[in-house]
Amino acid sequence: MIRARALTKAYSRAASAKRAERRPSEDTSAKRAERRPSEVSTGSDGGRTLLAVDGIDLDVAAGESFGILGANGAGKSTTMRMIGATLQRTSGELTILGRDPAHEGPVIRAHLGVVPQQDTLDTELTVRENLLTYGRYFGLPRTALVPRIEELLDFAQLQDKRDEKVEALSGGMKRRLTIARGLVNDPSLLLLDEPTTGLDPQARHILWDRLYQLRETGVTLVLTTHYMDEAEQLCERLVIMDAGRIVAEGAPADLIRTYSSREVVEVRFGTNRNSEVLPHLHGIGDRIEELPDRLLVYTDTGESDLQEIVARGFMPVTALVRRASLEDVFLRLTGRSLVDG
């Protein structure tokens, strides 16, 4: 469905500054500045170019649910917009459903359902009118849209809100409406950019349930997320992006097997003591990672390792033995935690 080779998106410095302005959570600290996508000098005038996406390769097959996992600013949204044919690549090769978005944008977009990160619902219209006008933009006749809208309202569980203004909806409802809107043209590929960011747990579960249902009907899903539980729940296969590059690719379980031990022991000794204790834990587990607030011991034998730590005379304030997750894979590959590390 999607085939991208050495896909690159570069912004000139002026343009990138403008885009950065629009981004809600802008990285400011020096530490975070390191993880900004690479800035390279180009041309004889020495003008700088910001590479938001730096030569990524990916293939997505029909019917697959594919995830792009990464922290804020990793290049996820830029990739999604390139796949959505609303942002043109600077170089590389990209085909979506066998077509080149540089030349066949409208036909590709007719195939796609798009759920952008920020809601772009039409707040001057009602729920039903949003679906109707969006369908009309695709050129679908009203007679075909009327029954389709009923299906979509059922699917999004918004029948009782059909004549309400969009503003009256909760965050979760708005997101469901955006998904319903993305389905109005019966897309073969649905692009979801951070579909559950900012939603409460209950709203997320309702949304996941809807997306499961879609998967069963054969719609190809491509989604970005910075929640590892979401990626594990929804994606059969995923790539991990960091600073505009893909750092790993595979099924969630395989990635965990490859890049992490089976279990993780999380121990906290208090903010200042973590680094004091660290040297004394030598030999426990496969690897120990130090985070500002805790130590992570990667191991296949969590319980006995925790006992060993206590046996060495270090009583943690809190301790937790858990199964390894994609969060650990991400930490291993990028040296940072996924959500606001």
Partner 1 sequence: MITQSLTVSAAVAIAERRSGRVDAGVRAGRARTLMLRNALALRTNNALSFLTGFVEPVIFLLAFGYGVGALVGTITYGGMTLPYAVYVAPALLAVSAMNGAIFDSTFNVFFKMHYLRIYQAITSTSLGPLDVALGEIGWAMLRGAMYAAGFLTVVTLLGLTTSWWALALVPAAMLIAFAFASVGMAVTSYMSTFHQLNWMQFVLLPLFMFSGTFFPITAYPEWLQVVVAATPLWQAIALTRGLFLGVLEPALLIPVAYFAVMAAIGLIVTTRRLDRLFLR
- Contacting positions for partner 1 (CB under 8 A): 84-88, 103-107, 109-112, 114, 116, 118, 120-125, 129, 133-134, 136-140, 144, 151-152, 154-155, 165, 181, 183, 185-188, 213-214, 217-219
Q: Decide whether 164 or 229 has the Cβ nearer to partner 1.
A: 164
Report which DSSP code applies to 99: B
Report which DSSP code applies to 314: -
Q: Decide whether 109 or 226 has the Cβ nearer to partner 1.
A: 109
Instruction: Write down the least CB distance from residue 252 to partner 1, Å.
Output: 25
Instruction: Write down the least CB distance from residue 182 to partner 1, Å.
Output: 9
Q: Where are the alpha helices (DSSP H) in the chain?
A: 13-22, 30-33, 76-83, 101-111, 127-137, 142-155, 171-182, 201-216, 228-234, 252-259, 273-277, 302-311, 326-334
* Residue found by looking up tokens 């990635």 in the block: 255
**What are phi and psi for residue 70, nearest 5 degrees?**
-175, 160
Instruction: Write down the least CB distance from residue 326 to partner 1, Å.
Output: 28
Q: Decide whether 137 or 254 has the Cβ nearer to partner 1.
A: 137
Instruction: Write down the least CB distance from residue 6 to partner 1, Å.
Output: 20
Q: Decide whether 128 or 294 has the Cβ nearer to partner 1.
A: 128
Take residue 177 and report the two structure tokens written for it.
């409406």
Contact 201, 209 (CB under 8 A): no
Q: Where are the alpha helices (DSSP H) in 183-325?
A: 201-216, 228-234, 252-259, 273-277, 302-311
- Could you give the CA distance from residue 152 to residue 148 in angstroms, rounded to a whole number? 6
Q: Decide whether 75 or 101 has the Cβ nearer to partner 1.
A: 101
* Residue found by looking up tokens 């309400």 in the block: 164
Instruction: Write down the least CB distance from residue 209 to partner 1, Å.
Output: 13
Q: Decide whether 114 or 235 has the Cβ nearer to partner 1.
A: 114
Instruction: Write down the least CB distance from residue 55 to partner 1, Å.
Output: 20
Instruction: Write down the least CB distance from residue 62 to partner 1, Å.
Output: 12
Q: Decide whether 74 or 183 has the Cβ nearer to partner 1.
A: 183
Contacting residues for 137 by C-beta, under 8 A, at least 6 apart? none
- Could you give the CA distance from residue 138 to residue 136 in angstroms, rounded to a whole number? 5
Q: Decide whether 145 or 264 has the Cβ nearer to partner 1.
A: 145
Instruction: Write down the least CB distance from residue 280 to partner 1, Å.
Output: 55
Closest by CA to 335, choosing from 289, 300, 270, is 289
- Could you give the CA distance from residue 67 to residue 60 in angstroms, rounded to a whole number? 10
